[in-house]
Structures are given as structure tokens and as C-alpha cells.
Structure 1
Amino acid sequence: MERKLIAASSQVTTTLEGDLFLSGGCTRPWAFIGDFNVVHGNHEKRDDLTPNPISCWDILNWINNNNLVHVHSSGAQFTWMNKRKGAQRIEMKLDQAISNTDYLDAWDSINCRTLARVQSDHEPLLTLQNSDSE
């Protein structure tokens, strides 16, 4: 069953979706993979402006409070760009995979990587899981 959640901002949506999911007592391996539309700090953004500290704090607090982890990804450092050139160009790492530790423990190998951007301003993520017992 697909569930849609609408909120005033994408950061609120992400937090609400996560809180609803986590409050449901899900004890199985899982991961959120996609556009979080927020960076965790300056290291995930390339331009002259500092990211909104409240947004950074919100996502980091949500990750820490729920004992979540980042699934390591390879490929492009930044997954979104505003398609401008020169000094007006902004690049950020908005697309990520965040999971519970059970997800990491459930697989012998997990490979999350960016794919080439085609028409979107985002680079898609591909996540492959492998278990030696399969």
C-alpha cells in the first residue's frame, strides 16, 4: 500500500514520514532511499552560501534520535544541481540512502551509487543488495 504525506516543506515531510514509520514499531530491515531535499552541512553543498542551520540540525537530529545510519554511496559527490553555469551554479547532495542498522546487517554487501543525470536535475540512486546465502 502506497502512502502519501503532504507537508509545508520537504524537510517536514521527511521527518513526519520517518517518525510515522518508526513509531509504527517496524523492527525489520529498511531504508529510505531518495531525495531528502536537505543537506547535513557545508560538506554536502557547493556554492558560496551556507546551508540553513535549522534544516541541517533537523535532519541530523532525526538520524541520531532514531539510531539511523547512512548507507555509503559511490559516484558523484553531489546528486542535484540547479543547471546554471559559473558563479550561479549550485550543487548539493540531496539524494541519499538512510537506514536502520538491521538493513546493513541483513546483507553481505550493499552497493549504493549514483547514476548519470539524464533530464532531471537529480542524479538517480541505484542500491543493490546481495546475500551470499541466496
Structure 2
Amino acid sequence: MSVLAWNCRGLGTPPAIRTLTEEVRKLNPVVVFLAETKANTNRMKGFQQKIGFTQGIIVPSDGLSGGLAMLWREGTDIRFKSCSHSHIDVVVHGESKNGPWRISGFYGHPDTSKRQSSWQLIEALYAQCCMSWVVCGDFNEILHPNEKLGWRERDANQIRDFRDVLSRCGLVDLGFVGQEFTWCNGRHGEQRTLLRLDRMVANEAWFQLFPEATVFHISMSASDHCLLALSLNKNHQQKKRKKRFMFEAMWVREAECKEVVDMAWNLNTEEAAMSVQDRLKRCQSHLVGWNQNKFGNVSKKLKQKQDRLQ
């Protein structure tokens, strides 16, 4: 059981949709929080259908900026509390033996001069409900000077204000496994900057509910922010599923593909009584063999590239 949180920097590009869809398929989370979707409600509805998380709360973007979403599968007992352009607050029922717990997806104001309004929002959420609580997302601030590498030093008052609001609300950082920083400005040389802007924090009651919880930082090529994957149980590996046959779009660019299908479909003209289902199975088998010889194990190669990215 897991929770995903990601500042996707826009869901308008195929790479962003593809990479997130793959992570959702692998980790099968209870809930997914997205910040900076840069998408309206209709686009988000289409994305929800694609990943199978058809329920949720959507805060549409303001033109090409902002936008939040908290998504879950139909049948999951999640109840809405509140939302704004900076947060989505829900309560999860039925996913823990010890009762419901609260999760708030959060996006800190990107303008430093307006950051205090973000901390006031956290305090307001804290005052609304006393229960097991975890907050996740892009806070746009760091907790300690060593969470920044490169360029100018971070203002000490900014860091202190963030640390103070978490302390007042009884929220403690959950730590992480993986690379140290969650955001990079993409520049080179002296102006290159790396920060740990994205994190998950929780109160003591939530720690007691999920004592084995672990946060993983996962590099995502489609965004300058890491995806945060919160594993709620120590054994976070999903059960291995039987591999399904998938027709790869790249196959149709090869003339040989049509030849393989034609040959498999009409392999034995005497078998006129063979059902369509049997012919499809034979095509599947031939395509799998042809793919292996033509392209090799693409999934294995992709996994190796992803490991190098991490």
C-alpha cells in the first residue's frame, strides 16, 4: 500500500503521462496527489480514465499555471474535507486496521514574499481536525541549509519560518530513501542549484499508525521534480502479476510486422474452421517471437535506463 505525490510540471506532454502511468501501474497506490498539473478539468478527467483513478478532487489550473489533483480508484473510501489552489485535504477510510487517517496534498506558494500565507494554511488545516495526519507535496522551501546545493545561500529566516510552522503543528519529516535533492533548476556551472523542496511530514498519531512507512525519491525524466512514493508497509513490493500481451506501437513502423501477422493468420489454409480467437492467439505468439529477434527485450533495456536515471 502506497501514496504518490508529484509536482509534474504539467500533464500536457506524452512523457509526463507515460511516466506517471507506469509508476501508478507498478506501485498501485491508494491515492495520488499531483501539483502544477497545468490542466483544466476536462483534460484531468481524460487522464483519470487512462490510469484508472476515476475518482478524486480536481483544482483546475489558472491558464497555464497551477492546478492540483487528488486521485483514487472507484470503490476506495476516501472522503473530501477541503481544497484551495494550494491544497487538497481528504480522509482515508478502510485502508488501516486502526481507523481512518487524514492526508493533505500541499503546494507552497512559489513567490517567497507570499510564503507566509502557505504556513498560515498549514496551521489552519492543523486546527480543523485532530487525527492521524500526513502532509505531502512541494513545499517550495527547505528545512535545513544542507538541503540546498549550489548558487546563493538560502535565506535563514525563510528556513526558520518553515521549520517553526511544522513544529507548531506537530509535523515531523518522514525522511527518504534515494537521491538527496528533489528539484534541480537544470542549469550548469555556478548557477546550478539543487534543493529538497518536496517531502512528506506527519504527526505522532500517524507514525504510530504506520511505523514502517518509508518515502522513496524517484527521478522522473518528464519533470524537474522527483516523484515521492510513500510505502506504508515494510513489504512494499507488489505481487507479481501474470504478464499480459501488449501490442507495441513501434511494431507498425516495421513492414515485417504485417508479414508476421499475415503468415500467422493464414499459416494453414486447411484449418478453415479455426476460430478467430485461436488465430489471434497464434498471431500473438508469432509477434512475441518476432519482437524478441527484432528488438530484443525492450522492457529490460528500459528498466536498465531507468536504473541509470535514478
Q: TM-score, normalised by structure 1?
A: 0.86
Q: Does 1:20 align with 2:100?
A: no
**Count of aligned pairs:** 131
Query: Are 1:89 and 2:89 an aligned pair?
Result: no
Percent sequence identity over aligned pairs:
21
Q: Secondary structure at the match of 1:27?
A: coil
Residue 41 (structure 1) aligns with:
144
Unmatched tracts of structure 1, length 5 or more: none
C-alpha displacement of 1:108: 3.7
Unaligned runs of 5+ in 2: 1-79, 87-108, 236-310
CA contact (8 A) 2:219 2:225 kept: no
1:106 paired with 2:223, answer no
SS of the residue corresponding to residue 72 of structure 1 reads coil
CA distance in 2, matches of 1:14, 1:82: 22
Alpha-carbon deviations, 1:3-41, whole Å to 9, x = none?
Answer: 1146684633431221111111x2221111110100123
RMSD of Structure 2 on Structure 1 (CA): 2.1
**Residue 3, structure 1, aligned to residue 83, structure 2:** yes
**Equivalent position to 1:72, from 158, 161, 175:** 175
Counterpart selection for 2:228 from 119, 125, 130: 125
Whose relative contact order is higher, 1 or 2, with alpha carbons under 8 Å and at least 6 apart? 1
- What is the aligned partner in structure 2 of residue 31 from structure 1? 134
Is 1:110–1:128's contact at 8 Å kept on the other side of the alignment? yes
Which whole-Å CA distance do the structure 2 matches of 1:85 and 1:3 have between them? 37
Q: Contact conserved, 1:41 with 1:51, CA < 8 A, in 2?
A: no
Quick check: 1:39–1:45 contact (8 Å CA) kept in 2?
yes
**Aligned with 2:83: secondary structure?**
coil
Distance 1:74-1:8 versus aligned 2 partners, 3 A rule: closer
Cα separation, partners in 2 of 1:80 and 1:131, compared to 1, 3 Å: closer
Consecutive aligned runs of 4 or more in structure 1 exceeding 6 Å deviation: none
Equivalent residue number for residue 256 of structure 2: none
Q: What's the TM-score once normalised by structure 2's chain length?
A: 0.39
Summarize the Cα distance change of 1:108–1:99 in structure 2 as closer, same or farther, 3 Å threshold: closer
Higher helix share: 2
Q: Of the two, which has the highest radius of gyration?
A: 2
CA distance in 2, matches of 1:64, 1:15: 11
